[in-house]
């Protein structure tokens, strides 16, 4: 996040992560630390699936 003229700006990836963590906390009554861990694992899965798609094409 960056502050420009007193206004915070976040990347779309940061906003997706925050939304995902909020949903995990809300839907599963997860503590923030657990929601962060699950968000990390889900992001890793997304990255691995993208790599797999790239390698299967070529």
Query: What sign does the CA torsion over 33, 25, 6, 14 have?
Result: positive
Q: Give the pLDDT confidence of 5-55 residue by residue, as tens digits.
A: 989 999 999 999 999 999 999 999 999 999 999 999 999 999 999 999 999
Query: What local confidence, expressed as pLDDT, does residue 41 receive?
Result: 97
The β-bridge partners of 46 are none
Query: What local confidence, expressed as pLDDT, does residue 53 receive?
Result: 96
N residues, the chain: 58
Examine the pLDDT at 58 and tell me if it is beyond 80: no
Query: What local confidence, expressed as pLDDT, does residue 25 receive?
Result: 98
Query: What local confidence, expressed as pLDDT, does residue 4 receive?
Result: 87
Query: What local confidence, expressed as pLDDT, does residue 26 receive?
Result: 98
């Amino acid at each position: 996040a960056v502050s420009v003229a007193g206004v915070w700006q976040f990347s779309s990836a940061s906003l997706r992560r925050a939304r995902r963590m909020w949903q995990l906390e809300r839907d599963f009554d997860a503590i923030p630390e657990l929601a962060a861990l699950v968000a990390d694992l889900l992001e890793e899965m997304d990255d691995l699936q993208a790599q797999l798609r790239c390698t299967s094409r070529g």
